């Protein structure tokens, strides 16, 4: 009796111990490397609620903000100051990878963190006002070919940002140097929409989600979306891709998370496992749709390969456009 | 008629007991968050979004909560400006100019209640404006492109010329320092890093909160320490907490003018409360002319920026609701919150979800009234801050300031930068440089540069774009008028003087 009780206690203890080993990290925190309200904030908030709803975490993660250089400040802080903290997730986007590729992340490169998961994507798009003379992507490319200075293109970032890159890809398609474009650097999708509607710019190089309210109200049209195939949403299925118009431009803006470089394999596996479960659930799909993100689920080594290839591709593009030597 | 019907329906939503409690909670939280220097409406709203979502509040209640927090923060922000000379946010810089001197004169309670009243009138005017013109205004606001904004900034800077007072050279240098500080960080056009010294913490430039708290809070702490050493004269509050009828009447026209001005500035996405309060203050100073004691505790100098801030805070909701374009940082966060509820602000919102829009507008009215009622009895508590001895006050301000900066950016670099800027600000003060032009140069200069470069990249370098549209032309005329106004006044004064001599 006594013995068996001890056995039970021992077994229970062992189970507890085992449970501890694979338990959720203490004080989980999601760092959004930007000011509140932006895309990074959105990414953190998405998994913050989803992880609790799916019972993968018992308490919601804290969301903290660490703005600076599309994630550069947070990247450096995590790599240098808390590389082994299993509870710290940091949001990243394709924009972070692009800046990494251009060496704008300080002394660190893409091999310095553990890429954990990609949870969704958005796609670049080319918008015009509904009364614009350009009906197709080809109309725009031909106009640029004839006279690069005849079209004012606005987008949501500086030269070298991801919004600029998708504009540069069109310039490349037209066979002109992207630096010859009449390019206006605005801030975010909202400003692009106002500038387009106010007639201050003629073409907006933007993001599909930001444009949808204006497309539905009939004020704006999309010449092309830079997805690999037409998007599977009732209001988006009529928007042509650049590919089907003969221009091979695909520009996804992926969003996801990484962990510090010295996070243990067990903790990394726990997170990977949790994200795998999360990304497969229907409820997550609903939450993701609410935030206007499209499916893009990838975790673990597969993601690591994707990120490294992406950074390598961006490096080639950046060199081609004269952004890095 | 249609509008009134919708508004009535909106009040029906907002006046339900549940939503009234929500609004009350929101205003309370907002006031407290706004009270802490460094924490403004952006933080208040960002903090509450996950909570609102987690509590499962229905969309209209969540929106009411956020709007109440937003207004509450704007209300709370003034308290540290008036009592401690530390502007909680960019927009309340102008409030310190006359609010703090009023408090030093022993009229802290009057200053607080009068500013609450002014802000209420401003918000009231703006909310009425919103009800009447929101969809129309949205169309008008998009006519403002980079060139128009640039000219608007020139106008604002010319208005601020009047700030120079008796130290024109020092004011000018201070504004230039601000202008220089605004160039640190990534160049918004070419993506090149400027003056960052390869430090990634400076890639996004100097954060406003760091600058404002360094310049005002840290340097104020240093000054307080110095005074403590020498023994400092205590401020005696008169005991009167409420403004009297005479005071309210004397600023009433100021309230109306600045309310309209603030609303218009608020509607323009990107102009916002800072510009509105600065222009309002300087315009009123010009109008008051020699009869004013602006800068030494003139009630009009307090009422003008406060009315404009109240009005522009509400005005900023117009582009958010009608265009889906945030008019300020806070409305950007609110758009994020709306998207959580699958509500996309934009041209269709008024048609598709009128109950939400009008519920929000109605709750703005209610939150404003609540704030006045809540704040006036609390003034007695707030003014006690002045009676706190420096040995206790200084460390508390230092701690709150530190928390404010760290909470927003979570890096220690910003704390060091803040202290560095604070020491610099202390030296400037000792040399008798005014500090507000540094801040205004920082904000307006940054916006002006950005818009000028955008305008010129649109026109491919042709300068005509800066005066060819009717709006730009109109603003230039206003600017010229502002420049000529003091000359006319001097000329008149001389004419009067000459006549006086002749009479003798």
Over residues B143-169, mean pLDDT: 78
| Beta-ladder partners of A183 | A153
Contacting residues for B402 by C-beta, under 8 A, at least 6 apart: B415
Would an 8 Å CB–CB cutoff place B454 in contact with chain A? yes
Nearest to B142 among A66, A158, A194 (CB): A194
Q: Identify the CA nearest to B223 among candidates B420, B387, B85.
A: B85
Count of domains observed in chain B: 1
Q: Identify the CA nearest to B298 among candidates B115, B449, B147.
A: B115
Domain covering A123-245 in this structure, CATH number? 3.40.190.10
Does some domain include residue B441?
Answer: no
Does some domain include residue B198?
Answer: no
DSSP A285-311: HHHHHHTT-B---EEHHHHHHHHHHHH
Highest mean pLDDT among A8-17, B11-20, B439-448: B11-20
Beta-carbon neighbour count of residue A184 at 10 Å? 24
ipTM: 0.76
Q: Identify the CA nearest to B456 among candidates A61, A184, A302, A231.
A: A184
Does some domain include residue B295?
Answer: yes
pTM for the structure as a whole: 0.78
User: Is residue B257 very low, low, confident or very high in pLDDT (cuts 50, 70, 90)?
Assistant: very high
Note the helical H segments in chain A: 2-21, 39-53, 72-81, 94-101, 137-146, 162-173, 188-197, 208-216, 265-280, 282-290, 300-320
Does some domain include residue B484?
Answer: no
What pLDDT is recorded for position A17? 45
* Touching A: B residues 300-339, CB under 8 Å: 319, 323-326, 329, 332-333, 335-336, 339
* pLDDT above 50 (res B78): yes
User: Is residue B57 very low, low, confident or very high in pLDDT (cuts 50, 70, 90)?
Assistant: confident
Residue A253 φ then ψ, to 5° = -115, 95
Q: Mapping DSSP to helix (H, G, I), strand (E, B) and coil, where does residue B297 land? A: coil
> One fold for both A28-122+252-320 and A123-245?
yes
A110-139 pLDDT, tens digit per residue, is 999 999 999 999 999 999 999 999 999 999
Q: Residue written as tokens 């230092």?
A: B398
Does some domain include residue B225?
Answer: no
Whether residue B337 contacts residue B62, with contact meaning beta carbons closer than 8 Å, is answered with: yes
User: Is residue B237 very low, low, confident or very high in pLDDT (cuts 50, 70, 90)?
Assistant: low
The overall average pLDDT reported for chain B is 82
Domain residues for B128?
2-144+245-389
Best B140, B200, B346, B465 residue to mutate vs chain A (most A CBs within 10 Å): B200
Counting residues of chain A whose pLDDT is more than 90, the rounded percentage is 50
B111-131 pLDDT, tens digit per residue, is 988 998 999 999 999 988 888
Best A69, A102, A208 residue to mutate vs chain B (most B CBs within 10 Å): A69
User: Is residue B1 very low, low, confident or very high in pLDDT (cuts 50, 70, 90)?
Assistant: very low
Give A-chain residues touching B348 at CB under 8 angstroms: 213, 216-217
Report d(CA A94, CA A99) in Å as an integer: 9
The answer to whether the Cβ–Cβ distance between A68 and B189 falls below 8 Å is no
Nearest CA in chain B to A47: B50
A172-231 pLDDT, tens digit per residue, is 888 888 888 889 988 777 788 888 988 999 999 988 887 888 888 888 999 999 999 999
Q: How far is CA A207 from the centre of its chain?
A: 11
Report d(CA B85, CA A58) in Å as an integer: 44
Question: Which option is the CATH number for A28-122+252-320: 3.40.190.150, 3.90.950.10, 3.50.50.60, 3.30.390.50?
Answer: 3.40.190.150
* Touching A: B residues 185-204, CB under 8 Å: 186-191, 193, 198, 200-201, 203-204
Domains in chain A: boundaries? 28-122+252-320, 123-245
Q: Mapping DSSP to helix (H, G, I), strand (E, B) and coil, where does residue A220 land? A: strand
Does some domain include residue B281?
Answer: yes
* Touching A: B residues 38-77, CB under 8 Å: 42-43, 45-46, 49-50, 53-54
Over residues A315-319, mean pLDDT: 92
Q: How far is CA B282 from the centre of its chain?
A: 14
DSSP B328-395: SHHHHHHHHHHHHTT---STTHHHH-HHHHHHHHHHHHHHHHHHHHHHHHHHHHHHGGGGS-HHHHHH
The answer to whether the Cβ–Cβ distance between A182 and B347 falls below 8 Å is no
Does some domain include residue B26?
Answer: yes
Report d(CA A75, CA A111) in Å as an integer: 12
B169-210 pLDDT, tens digit per residue, is 888 888 889 889 989 988 877 778 888 887 878 887 888 778
**What Å distances lie between residue B108 and A298, B236, B241, B321, CA to CA?**
59, 9, 8, 37
Over residues A12-20, mean pLDDT: 45
Does some domain include residue B466?
Answer: no
Report d(CA A89, CA A267) in Å as an integer: 12
Report d(CA B385, CA B380) in Å as an integer: 10
Indicate the range of A40-44, A81-85, A272-276, B132-136 predicted with least confidence: B132-136
Give B-chain residues touching A190 at CB under 8 angstroms: 269, 323-326, 332, 335
A51-77 pLDDT, tens digit per residue, is 988 888 888 888 888 887 788 889 988
């Amino acid at each position: 009796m006594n013995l068996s009780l001890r056995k039970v206690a021992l077994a229970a203890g062992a189970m507890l111990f085992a449970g501890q080993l694979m338990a959720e990290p203490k004080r989980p925190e999601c760092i959004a490397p930007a000011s509140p309200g932006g895309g990074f904030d959105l990414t953190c908030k998405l998994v913050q609620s989803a992880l609790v709803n799916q019972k993968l975490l018992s308490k919601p993660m804290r969301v903290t903000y660490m703005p600076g250089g599309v994630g550069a400040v947070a990247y450096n802080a995590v790599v240098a100051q808390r590389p082994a903290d299993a509870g710290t997730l940091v949001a990243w986007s394709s924009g972070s990878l692009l800046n990494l590729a251009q060496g704008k992340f300080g002394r660190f490169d893409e091999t310095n963190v553990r890429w954990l998961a990609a949870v969704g994507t958005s796609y670049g798009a080319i918008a015009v006002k509904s009364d614009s003379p350009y009906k197709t992507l080809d109309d725009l490319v031909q106009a640029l070919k004839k006279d690069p200075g005849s079209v004012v293109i606005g987008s949501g970032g500086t030269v070298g940002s991801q919004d600029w890159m998708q504009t540069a890809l069109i310039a490349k398609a037209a066979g002109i140097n992207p630096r010859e474009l009449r390019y206006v650097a605005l801030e975010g999708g909202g400003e692009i929409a106002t500038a387009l509607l106010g007639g201050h710019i003629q073409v907006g190089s933007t993001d599909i989600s930001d444009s949808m309210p204006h497309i539905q109200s009939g004020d704006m049209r999309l010449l092309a979306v830079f997805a690999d195939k037409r998007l599977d949403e009732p209001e988006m299925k009529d928007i042509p891709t650049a590919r089907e118009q003969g221009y091979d431009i695909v520009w996804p803006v992926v969003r996801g998370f990484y962990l510090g470089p010295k996070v243990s394999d067990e903790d990394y596996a726990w997170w990977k496992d949790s994200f795998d479960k999360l990304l497969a659930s229907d409820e997550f799909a609903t939450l993701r749709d609410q935030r206007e993100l499209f499916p893009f689920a990838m975790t673990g080594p597969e993601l690591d390969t994707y990120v490294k290839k992406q950074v390598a591709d961006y490096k080639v593009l950046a060199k081609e456009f004269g952004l890095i030597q | 008629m249609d509008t009134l019907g919708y508004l009535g329906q909106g009040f029906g939503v907002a006046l339900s007991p549940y939503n009234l409690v929500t609004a009350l909670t929101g205003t309370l939280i907002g006031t407290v968050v706004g009270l802490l220097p460094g924490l403004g409406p952006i933080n208040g709203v960002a903090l509450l979004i996950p909570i609102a979502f987690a509590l499962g509040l229905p969309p209209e209640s969540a929106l009411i909560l956020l709007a109440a927090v937003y207004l509450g923060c704007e209300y709370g922000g003034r308290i540290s400006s008036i009592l401690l000379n530390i502007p909680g946010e960019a927009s309340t810089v102008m409030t310190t100019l006359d609010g703090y001197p009023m408090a030093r004169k022993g009229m802290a309670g009057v200053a607080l209640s009068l500013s609450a009243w002014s802000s209420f009138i401003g918000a009231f005017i703006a909310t009425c404006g919103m009800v009447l013109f929101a969809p129309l205004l949205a169309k008008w606001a998009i006519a403002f492109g980079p060139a128009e904004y640039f000219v608007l900034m020139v106008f604002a800077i010319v208005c601020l010329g009047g700030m120079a007072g008796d130290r024109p050279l020092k004011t000018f240098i201070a504004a230039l320092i601000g202008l220089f500080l605004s160039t640190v960080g990534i160049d918004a056009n070419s993506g090149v890093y400027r003056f960052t010294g390869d430090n990634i913490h400076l890639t996004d430039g100097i954060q406003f909160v760091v600058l404002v708290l360094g310049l005002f809070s840290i340097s104020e702490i240093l000054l307080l320490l110095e005074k403590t050493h020498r023994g400092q004269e205590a401020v005696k509050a008169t005991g009167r907490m409420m403004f009297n009828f005479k005071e309210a009447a004397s600023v009433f026209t100021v309230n109306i003018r600045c309310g309209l001005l603030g609303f218009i500035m608020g509607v323009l996405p990107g102009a916002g409360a800072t510009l509105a309060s600065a222009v309002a203050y300087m315009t009123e100073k010009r109008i008051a002319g020699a009869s004013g004691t602006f800068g030494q505790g003139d009630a009009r100098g307090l009422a003008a920026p406060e009315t404009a801030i109240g009005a522009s805070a509400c005005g900023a909701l117009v582009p958010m609701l009608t265009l889906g374009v945030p008019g300020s940082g806070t409305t950007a966060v609110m758009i994020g919150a709306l998207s959580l509820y699958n509500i996309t602000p934009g041209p269709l919102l008024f048609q598709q979800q009128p109950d939400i829009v009008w519920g929000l507008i109605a709750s703005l009215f209610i939150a404003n009234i609540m704030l006045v009622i809540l704040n006036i009895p609390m003034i007695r508590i707030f003014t006690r801050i002045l009676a706190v001895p420096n040995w206790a006050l200084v460390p508390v301000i230092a701690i709150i300031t530190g928390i404010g900066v760290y909470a927003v950016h979570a890096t220690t670099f910003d704390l060091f930068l803040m202290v560095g800027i604070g020491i610099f600000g202390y030296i400037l003060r000792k040399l008798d440089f005014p500090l507000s032009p540094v801040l205004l140069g920082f904000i307006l200069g940054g916006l002006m540069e950005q818009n000028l470069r955008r305008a010129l990249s649109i026109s491919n370098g042709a300068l005509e774009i800066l005066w060819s549209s009717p709006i730009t032309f109109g603003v230039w005329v206003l600017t010229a008028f502002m420049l000529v106004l003091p000359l006319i006044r001097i000329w008149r004064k001389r004419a009067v003087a000459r006549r006086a001599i002749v009479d003798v």
